[in-house]
Chains A and B, each alone.
Chain A
Amino acid sequence: MSNKEIILSIRDLYVNFYTYAGVVKAINGVNLDIYKGEVFGLVGETGCGKSVTSRAITRLIPPPGRIEKGEILYKRNSEYVDLLKLPEDEIRKIRGDEISYIFQDPTSSLDPLYTSGYQIAETMVVHDRAEWNEAWKKAVELLKETLIPDPESRVKNYPHEMSGGMRQRIVISIALSNDPKLLIADEPTTNVDVTVQAELMDLLRELQRKKGTTILLITHHMGLIAEMTDRVGVMYAGNLVEIAPVDEIFAEPLHPYTKGLLAAVPNPLQKIDKLVPIKGSVPNLIYPPSGCRFHPRCPFAMPICKEKRPPRIEIKPGHYVECWLYAEEVKKKGES
């Protein structure tokens, strides 16, 4: 792993949302490295903070939310800069250029007043990558790359003249228009049908292979994680509880939450008599549980889980888990 180059490193990130009801501790000390050229999957349920984390990277957190502390180191021109300390106009240059986003809803991420070609070309012109003429030609090429039939006439179409899958392809084209180093795809296929989802995922995989873009894929769908990613981070209630290569996450999940999550997903290829749900419900992050945030729902909870936050433990190279269960093991190993 060490021979790989880290492109983005999130260190000790804390994000709070100041609401009237109280302070929502949405992100609670997240540490994460993303290597160049990989597809990193961030998986978790609604409200676990996976979207907030991705938006914190380029400081896109809306007003009531505030990044409390942490560092986000991004490798820019062979040296690391802290994105959280960069001036606003510098970070604006990075957004949509070096780091670009694909958001969940293709309908609302396109402006209905402009043609698809205009919107793709605009991204290039804004970031001084091309003049209008050239950018327009490049837009056609991009559409060709995203396998849109008849790209010459499609660039002149408005978003409402296209289907949902087509629109999401346009969004992908916009995101790819400046050859980003890091592409953040936040639930890119939640609103489209399975067949379209499969097509879009094939497309992303293909483009990623061809251009070597690093992708941060955020999803709640274990199936997509299995098909798309190289490494996976599992988030629960603002904590990144487990990070591992994708095969290991599915073959030997360590954190009780990861285990629960996998048991709750119906696998269409197997005959399942009974799914195993995770008991309880997601905690209110205004009053998060003490110690390990998962302990009220954890079948293996111990007294210490209530009191102290578990440390991050590296079980195998590249496989990290935040859980007291494995801390004991580490201790024992150390003693013997």
Chain B
Amino acid sequence: MSNNVMVEVRNLKKYFPVRRFLLSKDYVKAVDGVSFQIKKGECLGLVGESGSGKTTLGRVILRLIPPTSGEILYKGKPVTKMKGEELKEFRKSAQMVFQDPYSSLDPRMTVFQSIIEGPRIHGIDVGNPEEFVTRLLETVGLKPEHLYRYPHEFSGGQKQRIAIARALAMNPEFMVLDEPTSALDVSVQASILNMLKELQAKFGLTYLFISHDLAVVKYMSHRIATMYVGRIVEVADSEELFLNPLHPYTQMLLASIPIPDPKIAKNKPKIKITGEPPSPIRLPQGCKFYPRCPFAMPICKIKEPPLIKVGNNHEVACWLYE
């Protein structure tokens, strides 16, 4: 079991200090006690609204920002304690694709320079660099003549393909995909998602797929974790999560996705959606969702519910299921 796990996160916390008055400090608890596992070859979807901490979580796992506390194990090794060669190896094997293809490529570098930069820095032998990059471009569906163009000459979808090629150049095993299609049009989104799926099958990649779009997450992921203000409130297999959402927040999320089918859309059962996520600085005590929750009970106000197993591969943090 344990060699099957690619990434394991244990009680991870990331607080950002906010200066108030002269000495007192407040904290934005972006990620607050998150634990989960990603198995080899799996795609874990991470879904949540803005401010839920999903992006921060992705960055902390890749060690782009240091965690406040908690452990991240990458293939069984603690990421936070890596140094020298080990860290270099990690930087090669774990890659990230960012949301905004318009600013994730250096505007002053040609496609070739951008893609070859990683292997050059890590001294990876790629044979003939031009051929290597051309091959990669073909893998992501671009043409060899794009080799010496600059990012501004490409459309958003093409830029995202370049960014993916840039990550693939390092021959990674694990990729964090941070809203890779949210800046793109639907017809382009479909082709990028399909490509990511094909790449996963071809190279046996492991994905952490972060998105606010439930439909996209469902299409991509084997398992889905729902986040709400820094906590994971529900984890389940993706079919299961859609058929049988347990946490009231997941239910609310599912109810609010617009369904592209007018017959269903106009007759779907209404769940009254109220309120907005709380400010991450002044969080309520107890369950963070109780002010918006239609099923709130007295205990929700006092004690925070733990993540409990309720079925096969289905965990939820809610007192309703205790």
Do A and B touch directly, given a CB cutoff of 8 Å in the complex? Answer: yes
CB within 8 Å of B: which residues of A? 45-46, 163-166, 193-199, 201-202, 220-227, 246-247, 250, 260-269, 271-272, 274-278, 281-282
Whether the Cβ atoms of B155 and A281 lie closer than 8 Å is yes
Chain B's nearest CB lies how many Å from the CB of A329?
25
B: contact size bracket = 35 or more
A278 to B194 alpha-carbon distance, docked (Å)? 12
Chain B's nearest CB lies how many Å from the CB of A284?
10
Given known contacts A222-B186, A226-B261, A194 and B158 CB-to-CB distance under 8 angstroms = no
A11 to B245 alpha-carbon distance, docked (Å)? 49
Chain B, residue nearest A281 (CB):
B155
A261 to B191 alpha-carbon distance, docked (Å)? 12
Given known contacts A264-B189, A275-B193, A269 and B256 CB-to-CB distance under 8 angstroms = no
Most buried by A among B212, B257, B274: B257
Chain A, residue nearest B252 (CB):
A195
Interface status of B199 (Cβ within 8 A of chain A): no
Interface status of B276 (Cβ within 8 A of chain A): yes
Whether the Cβ atoms of A281 and B188 lie closer than 8 Å is yes
Whether the Cβ atoms of A277 and B216 lie closer than 8 Å is no
Contact residues of B: prevailing secondary structure = helix
Whether the Cβ atoms of A261 and B50 lie closer than 8 Å is no
B262 in complex: contacting residue of A202, A226, A267, CB < 8 Å: A226
Whether the Cβ atoms of B185 and A276 lie closer than 8 Å is no
A150 to B256 alpha-carbon distance, docked (Å)? 25
A225 to B265 alpha-carbon distance, docked (Å)? 10
What are 11 A-B contacts with C-beta separation under 8 Å? A46-B185, A193-B50, A198-B256, A202-B273, A222-B186, A223-B257, A223-B260, A225-B260, A250-B262, A266-B190, A275-B194
CB within 8 Å of A: which residues of B? 49-50, 155-158, 185-191, 193-194, 212-216, 218-219, 239, 242, 252-266, 273-274, 276-277
Chain A's nearest CB lies how many Å from the CB of B36?
22
Q: A195-B273, A195-B276, A268-B242 are in contact. List 16 more A-B contacts (CB 8 A).
A: A194-B49, A194-B253, A220-B185, A222-B186, A226-B258, A265-B215, A265-B260, A266-B216, A266-B218, A267-B215, A267-B260, A268-B254, A269-B242, A275-B219, A277-B188, A282-B185
Chain B contacts of A281 at CB under 8 A? 155, 157-158, 188
Whether the Cβ atoms of B259 and A269 lie closer than 8 Å is yes
Chain B's nearest CB lies how many Å from the CB of A132?
31
Chain A contacts of B191 at CB under 8 A? 277
Chain B, residue nearest A191 (CB):
B50
Given known contacts A45-B185, A193-B212, A267 and B256 CB-to-CB distance under 8 angstroms = no
Chain B contacts of A275 at CB under 8 A? 190, 193-194, 219
Whether the Cβ atoms of A45 and B258 lie closer than 8 Å is no
B194 in complex: contacting residue of A202, A247, A277, CB < 8 Å: A277
A165 to B218 alpha-carbon distance, docked (Å)? 26
Given known contacts A195-B253, A197-B256, A277-B191, A163 and B263 CB-to-CB distance under 8 angstroms = no
Chain B contacts of A202 at CB under 8 A? 273
Chain B's nearest CB lies how many Å from the CB of A233?
15
Whether the Cβ atoms of B258 and A223 lie closer than 8 Å is yes
7 closest Cβ pairs, A-B complex: A223-B258, A198-B256, A277-B191, A277-B190, A193-B49, A264-B190, A45-B185
Chain B contacts of A269 at CB under 8 A? 242, 259, 261, 264
Whether the Cβ atoms of B260 and A222 lie closer than 8 Å is yes
Whether the Cβ atoms of A223 and B253 lie closer than 8 Å is no
Chain B, residue nearest A227 (CB):
B265
Given known contacts A45-B187, A277-B187, A268 and B257 CB-to-CB distance under 8 angstroms = yes
Chain B contacts of A267 at CB under 8 A? 215, 259-261
Whether the Cβ atoms of A221 and B239 lie closer than 8 Å is no
Chain A's nearest CB lies how many Å from the CB of B316?
18
Whether the Cβ atoms of B265 and A226 lie closer than 8 Å is yes
A164 to B276 alpha-carbon distance, docked (Å)? 10
Chain B contacts of A163 at CB under 8 A? 276
A223 to B259 alpha-carbon distance, docked (Å)? 5
A208 to B257 alpha-carbon distance, docked (Å)? 21
Chain A contacts of B262 at CB under 8 A? 226-227, 246-247, 250
Whether the Cβ atoms of B186 and A264 lie closer than 8 Å is yes
Chain B's nearest CB lies how many Å from the CB of A285?
13
Chain B contacts of A225 at CB under 8 A? 260
Whether the Cβ atoms of A201 and B219 lie closer than 8 Å is no
